[in-house]
Amino acid sequence: MTIRKAEPLDAKSIAKVHIQTWQTSYAGIVPNEYLSSLSYPEREAWWRQVLEANRPAVGNFVAEVEEDGIVGFAQGGPERDGDLTYLGELYAIYVLQPFQRRGFGHALFSAVTEQLILDGFPSMLLWVLQGNRPACRFYEALGGKRVSEKTIEIGGANLVEVAYGWQDITTLTAAPEV
């Protein structure tokens, strides 16, 4: 397994992981019509734009294996909603289902938290759909505390998103493998 910073040339592979993980992780949570409407070309173009912009203090990482290429990605940076309690945010973390529970998610999580610390963000939160219980358990195993919730709309459905927070991510470098 290799964890590295994402590059614009990775956009197509990241888009593939992004859509496939949404379709598997959110089946039964997000409306099927929405999940089946996700567009690879649109997602690839979006990721290419994100990666070419190379915004300061935003880290984009990929997990790859020699035989399969990119099997996961994560993105994090400054907290986006103005929450003064948590300065950093894990925006996204997705790993293809066959590679889950094998250390890829933990390695990507660590890459983002290390980058946030380097960029001066010692605390972090993330948002996850409440119905995504495997992800919630993953964050809880990493010491995340449920700190907020909000209702969002995806594909015409109102869904509850919960926030997990870490007051001090500098202590996460020794987090156990989950």
Note down pLDDT in tens along the chain; length 178 residues.
Answer: 899 999 999 999 999 999 999 999 999 999 999 999 999 999 999 999 999 997 777 899 999 999 899 999 999 999 988 877 899 999 999 999 999 999 999 999 999 999 999 999 999 999 999 999 999 999 999 999 999 999 999 999 999 999 999 999 998 754 444 4
Domains of the chain: 2-174 (3.40.630.30)
Distance separating alpha carbons of residues 127 and 164, to the nearest angstrom? 7
State the DSSP string of 76-87: EEE-SS--SS--
pLDDT at 142: 92
pLDDT at 50: 93
pLDDT at 178: 42
Bridge partners for 146 per DSSP = 164
How many CA within 13 A on the CB side of residue 130? 12
In the three-class reduction of DSSP (H, G, I as helix; E, B as strand; rest coil), residue 121 is classed as: coil
Record the tokens describing residue 86, joined without a space.
């948590």
pLDDT at 172: 79
Whole-model pTM: value is 0.91
pLDDT at 173: 57
Contact 123/83 with Cβ under 8 angstroms?
Answer: no
State the DSSP string of 124-165: EEEEEETT-HHHHHHHHHTT-EEEEEEEEEETTEEEEEEEEE
pLDDT at 139: 95
Distance separating alpha carbons of residues 17 and 20, to the nearest angstrom? 5
Which burial class, exposed, middle or buried, applies to 14 when counting CB atoms under 10 A from its CB (0-12, 13-18, 19+)?
buried
